[in-house]
Each structure stands twice: as structure tokens, then as C-alpha cells.
Amino acid sequence: MPHETPQPPHQRPPRRPQDTRPRSEVPAHVPTDEEAARHATGKRTGQGHFAGNLSREELLKRIARVDQAGEYGAVRIYQGQLAVLGSKSANVGVLRHMLEQEEEHLATFDRELLKRRARPTLLTPIWHVAGFALGAGTALLGEKAAMACTTAVEETIDAHYQGQYEQLGDDDLPLKATIAKFREEELEHRDIGYANGAEDTPAFPLLSGAIKAGTKLAIWLSERV
């Protein structure tokens, strides 16, 4: 399917590729009342959607846990790609742009964990290593392979966030609005990947399929462990 070329991100002061902002300094996203109200449907969280035997409180804790884990992994992927590609990459600007958005997502779900009194996944040390390795490994294959990694991950996260959005109701509008905003930004990342040659990667379908399968497994595990 055709993919529109996204507008170039706003120019930011240069930052060393291996650098990232301390998590304590990254602001969390807080939707306005007006923004949240746009997502009202008249339904309550979990109504009309299968959520196993989870209570509303357990469902919200699971959402906070898995999304915090996913955004942590995304930050590590972009850190790995920037560590390999460095400032000489033609895509350094968009990589930093995507990293900064993922840092905001992570800060937001860090806050959600505290708000819900939920524990993070026990697999965080694994995602710390695996995320960086995936980013660095695909970058070593070339810039287009790094973009193929982005498209595969973001298409999986798109479906994941859409499923959560549909489970949330009017009793959790701020979280629902946040997930809607973050889903739009993940789709922006997907479009950036396609606009920068993701599909030109050798064996693109195999690489993309493998990354999608790994991402789905990581989501399933992080929801439960």
C-alpha cells in the first residue's frame, strides 16, 4: 500500500548518538479534558470486549505494565541504532525524533505504573539487552534494515494499542486518549520507515516477519510475567 512521506521533524540541537535524556527529566504526556472527551463512547472499560477473568483494576495494571515494557524496549532499539549509525547517518534526525517520542511514551507509562501501583515486568533486564541488540543488529545490516525494524515493530504496536483502545471506556478516558495519541505517533514512525527505504531491505518479508513475531511474543510475556 502507498505510504505518504512524513514532514521532516523540527530541528533540534545536536545530541551525541549514544546520549539519552535521564528518565526523570522527560515529561510525561497528560491529555487535556477536551482531548480526553473526544474519545468518549458511552461504554465502560472492558464492556463488550473479552479480557479473560481480569477485573478492571487488573486490566489497567496489565496495560501499564506491558506498555511500559514496550516503550522501554523501543527506547533501547533506537539507542542501539544510533550507537551503530552515529551522527553520519542520513537518518540521524528522524532516529532522534523517534527516540524522543518514545522517551515521552516511556515516561508516561512509568507514571502509569506508579499511579496503578503496578509492578514492572520481571523481564525488564532482558528487554534492556534485547532491545539494544535488535536496534544495533539491524543497523549493522544497513540503514534500510534499521528502518525495516521500525516498520515491523510499529505495525505490531499499532494493532496492540488499537486492541487496548477498544477495551478502555469512559471511566478511563485520560489513558484512552493517551494510547490514541501514542498510536498515531507509532504510525508516524512506521511511515518514516517506509519513506526511508524499509521495503528495499534484502529479504524484507523474512526480516519483518521475524521481528513482528518476536515483538508479539515480547508483548505476550510482558503482560503476564
CA distances from 214 to 28, 137, 221 (A): 27, 14, 11
Decide if 102 contacts 74 (C-beta within 8 A).
yes
Confidence of residue 24 (pLDDT cuts 50, 70, 90): low
What pLDDT digit, counting tens, does each position of 143-198 carry?
999 999 999 999 999 999 999 998 998 888 889 999 999 999 999 999 999 999 99
For the chain, which domains are there?
A: 50-224 (1.20.1260)
What's the DSSP call for residue 141? T
Residue 12 scores a pLDDT above 60: no
Give the integer Cα–Cα distance in Å for 12 and 3: 25
Dihedral over Cα of 126, 19, 78, 114: its sign? positive
Instruction: Quickly count: other Cβ atoms within 10 Å of residue 117's Cβ.
Output: 9
CA distances from 86 to 23, 101, 131, 137 (A): 22, 19, 17, 14
What pLDDT digit, counting tens, does each position of 38-60 carry?
777 778 887 655 556 778 889 99
